[in-house]
Amino acid sequence: MRNKVKITVVKQFLPKDIFGHDYTLVSGNKVKNCALKEGSEFISDGTGNKPEGFCPHAWNSIFKNVHLLTWGGGYPETIGEGISFGVCPDGLRPVIFKLERIEFD
Q: Nearest Cα to 71, choosing from 50, 51, 49, 46?
A: 46
Q: Model-level pTM?
A: 0.91
- In contact, 51 and 6? CB cutoff 8 Å: no
Average pLDDT rounded to a whole number, residues 54-73: 95
For the chain, domain boundaries: 4-102
Instruction: Convert the pLDDT of each residue in 16-40 to its tens digit.
Output: 999 999 999 999 999 998 899 999 9
Instruction: Convert the pLDDT of each residue in 85-95 to its tens digit.
Output: 999 989 999 99
More confident residue, 73 or 7: 7
